Amino acid sequence: MRTPPETPLSELARRATEEPGRIHVEDVEGSSLSYAETATEARRWAAAYRSIGVEADEIVVTMQNNTIESLLGWHGLGWLGATEAPVNVDYRADLLVHALNLTRARTMACLGQFVPRLLKVADRLEHLRQVVVLDDGDVPELPWPSWRMAELLAEAEQAFNMTELSCPVGYPVWNADRFDERGRASQGTVRPGYAVRIVDEHDQPLPPGEVGEIVIRSDVPWVLNAGYLNMPEATAEAWRGGWFHTGDAGYLDEEGWFYFIDRLKDCIRRRDENISSYDVEMSVMAHPEVALAGAIAVKENDRPGANEEVKVCCVRTEGSALDGEGLVRWLIGRMPRFMVPRYVEFFDELPLTPTQKVRKVELPKSPLTERTFDREAAGIEIPRDG
């Protein structure tokens, strides 16, 4: 009988289950992670890479020092079925070009200090399409779509939680390859001791696959929050019907796996499709001439339940002359047809929150100004097969 092969990931998964608290890795400065913590963080790195389109059998070039984070990135890519191709941190010029072109990698993850080396050979890189900057230092502007790993990790939490809750949803096993048909990572299944429902606007449960509000309660008293301090009306609203209303939109699939879509206030409802504003923004900002984008809903009229159209408010990169038509035509075929924005408007800057996210409540809601591009008015049709 052939013995099933033992891999670093299968070993990590086994230890995370059998010895979750045992130290797995420790660096020279004393920072450490247990087996369970390593598995959880590796899943998060996998989801971060998956959120920018990294897939199984893909090669990702890395240029970084040996740290705990580099180990997590290696495990994360492995969980996706992708392959890491580390290059020597002293590579530059011809050697760097040779390594990147030889691997045919379209994604590179590197420390910010190595970005200037990339810029010097940018016109010689045949396959590179996007760059992930692994640290938070200042870097020059890149000619490819670029991401900060810290931001990707923040968006790629693999467990659903809020300050008011106690992590009611998580992975029952240590794997991160559960994605829906649109490539969205699952946050896991409901943990023992909790109940989670997806409900409509009348708090009626929705069937699997239907997007609605996530509501939660626990089997044991005092596990969840008891309410908001000195805010009785907000407490009553959040806890109506004995369920805590999260204000988040999501759905459960047929097998009980949970998927977070967006904050309800940011979710766009277009012709029976629930559209994640974050998904729209990520697709728009993949354009090399878009520096920042915020997606909002524009109602067709003031009636309750009126159809909403997608509008994106964008900031161009320096020197760009990109217009609304150019952006829309670039997006067609790169995102689901129902997500392609109808309205596009460009701004010199967008209002930001203290955490540097677009403050959408301050974005203009009027769909038609002298600067707004209207896809339908321009007569641009989206092919059914595109």
Q: Per-residue pLDDT tens for 315-338?
A: 999 899 999 999 999 999 888 889
Instruction: For residues 81 and 198, state if they share a domain.
Output: no
Starting at the edge strand found earlier in the chain, the sheet holding 130-133 runs 83-86, 59-63, 107-110, 130-133, 146-148
218 and 111 fall within a common domain: no
Domain boundary pick from 217, 241, 263: 263
Q: Do residues 71 and 124 both lie within one domain?
A: yes
Would you state the pLDDT for residue 6?
63
CATH code of 125's domain: 3.40.50.980
Residue 163: pLDDT above 60? no
pLDDT tens per residue across span 264-310: 777 888 887 788 888 898 889 889 899 899 999 888 877 766 788 99
Which tokens is 125 given?
């890189």
279 lies in some domain: yes
Q: Are 210 and 198 in contact (CB under 8 A)?
A: yes
In contact, 104 and 80? CB cutoff 8 Å? no
373 versus 31: the higher-pLDDT residue is 373
pLDDT band of 378, cuts 50, 70, 90: very high
Q: What is the mean pLDDT of residues 247-276?
A: 84
User: Are 18 and 104 found together in one domain?
Assistant: yes
Question: For 83-136, what is each residue's pLDDT tens digit?
Answer: 999 999 999 999 999 999 999 999 999 999 999 999 999 999 999 999 999 998
Helices (H) and strands (E) in the chain, counts: 9, 19
* Strand partners of residue 110: 63, 133
Q: Percent of the chain scored above 70 by pLDDT?
A: 89
Distance CA 18, CA 231 (A): 44
| CATH number of the domain encompassing residue 247 | 2.30.38.10
Span 68-72, mean pLDDT?
A: 92
Instruction: Tell me how far apart the alpha carbons of residues 183 and 271 are, in angstroms, rounded to a whole number.
Output: 21
- Mean of per-residue pLDDT scores for the chain: 84
* Amino acid of residue 163: T
Q: Of residues 155 and 231, which shows the higher confidence score?
A: 231
272 and 258 co-located in one domain: no
pLDDT score recorded for residue 335: 86
Domain count within the chain: 3
Segment (H or E) for 345: strand 343-347
At residue 164 the predicted structure's pLDDT band, cuts being 50, 70 and 90, is low
Mean pLDDT calculated for residue range 238-245: 90
> Is the same domain home to 221 and 352?
no
The domain boundary, picked from 263, 278, 310, lies at: 263
Same domain, yes or no, for 122 and 16? yes
pLDDT tier at 182, thresholds 50, 70, 90: low
Average pLDDT over residues 154-163: 56
Q: How many of the other CB atoms lie within 10 Å of CB of 71? A: 19
The verdict on 69 and 93 lying in the same domain is yes
Kindly report the pTM of this predicted structure: 0.53
CA dihedral 179, 180, 186, 188 (to 10 degrees): -100
* Last residue in a domain, options 263, 296, 312: 263
- What's the domain range around 188? 183-263
Q: What is the CA radius of gyration of the chain?
A: 23
Q: Which residues contact 299 (CB under 8 A, 6 or more apart)?
A: 306, 307, 308, 309
pLDDT at 4: 44
**What CATH number is given to the structural domain containing 278?**
3.30.300.30
